[in-house]
Structure 1
Amino acid sequence: MKRNGDFKGVVLGEGSTGKAVDPCLKNIWSSRVPPRVKIFIWKCVSNILPTKDRLRRRVVLLDSNCVLCQNANEDLLHLFLDCPFSCSLWFSTPLNMCTTRYPWTSFKEWWTHVTTQFKAMGCEENFDKMACLL
């Protein structure tokens, strides 16, 4: 409802708080990937995926080493970007991505950077490919 009493629908892109929706999240929800992939990416971007690092903070977990390489603490960045196994997997895809080029501070930072690059190059279909590769 507007201040003058007129009722109008909520402006697209605004939540109940009136704040604009995060463009990163908007890209995820508007993508053409299956809903379960969207939810998985949202969990990664929101840093709520239950990695060993996060589980260890909540419950007693003796081993927090990466399930793939056993050499580092398994957090979101390591599991999907820094782990040698993940690095070679990303590089061997048709996208030919090097995930260790920049010192990312969060998965969301990496995801935003990569999806922005795809849009700038006019390769938005790569977003869908990358989402499904996760």
Structure 2
Amino acid sequence: MAKVHAYLNFNGNCEEAFTFYQTVFESPLSGVYRFGDTPEDPNFPTPEEDKNKVMHTSLHINKDVMLMGSDCIESFGQKATYGTGSYIMLDTDTAEEARTLFDKLAVDAQNLEMDLGETFFAELFASFTDKFGIAWMIHFEGNKKMGQ
């Protein structure tokens, strides 16, 4: 079975975002590759101001899930557009884990759609956009298991 990982794009602040995510998930970066590290292609040169931007980085959320990311380069025709077209949903094993992740990830959130609280489908649920424009959901089903 294939694993599913989240790949996030940023407009120049990937490094700042992943520094933040390291503190949230208490996990080190697996590495950082910058656009300036790539071999130069005279037909497709990297602008000098973009060479320090992140081409790829990642960290493990747990043994099966990675969060990966990169910066977009506008001169290459790339631009990250944020919204609610997709969310990263963190399905937690405990209420404490849900609260801890929410308390860390929601710091300076751009949009708090739903504060962490009880719903008809979960003991704890939250929906928000973090300070970097990434949409998250945090879910702890608890005693609200379907069919009970």
TM-score by length of 1: 0.27
Q: With structure 2 as the length reference, what TM-score do the two structures score?
A: 0.25
The answer to which structure has the higher helix fraction is 1
Higher strand share: 2
